[in-house]
Amino acid sequence: MEDGLEASGVPLIRGIPIHATRAGGIVGRHELMIVGDNDKICISHESFNRKAFAAGALRGIRFLRGKSGFFEMRDVLELDKVLLSCFERRRTAAVN
């Protein structure tokens, strides 16, 4: 996984372990753990079937129609726009 991230140009923070595990019968489970000396924070996601992956693939195909170049799912899902909108709402709420 780290090799793939390095090849994509994503900057890696050394010393942060990244693990990927595939097990039979598990459709999709992703977990992010931030572990300290005394506690940990876990964020997890589970897919119950492959429909979510198929929907994402179809959305990606529709996004690519008529385009050329290199894209990531963040482009397909417009994550930059979503995050900016979220930050704008928070900033507006903080001012008011």
Q: What digits encode the pLDDT tens for the residues 30-45?
A: 888 888 889 999 998 8
Average pLDDT, whole number, for the chain? Answer: 82
pLDDT at residue 65, rounded to an integer:
96
Instruction: Provide the residue type at 52 as one letter.
Output: A
Q: Provide the number of structural domains found in the chain.
A: 1
Q: What digits encode the pLDDT tens for the residues 7-37?
A: 666 566 666 666 767 667 678 888 888 888 8
Measured CA to CA, the distance from residue 78 to residue 80 in angstroms comes to: 6
DSSP β-bridge partners for residue 41: 34
**8 A C-beta contact, residue 18 and residue 1:** yes
Q: What digits encode the pLDDT tens for the residues 86-95?
A: 888 888 888 8
pLDDT at residue 3, rounded to an integer:
62
Q: The domain containing residue 51 runs over which residues?
A: 2-95
pLDDT at residue 29, rounded to an integer:
82
| Nearest of 33, 28, 39, 38 to residue 18 by alpha carbon | 33
Going 62 to 66 to 71 to 76, the CA torsion angle's sign is negative
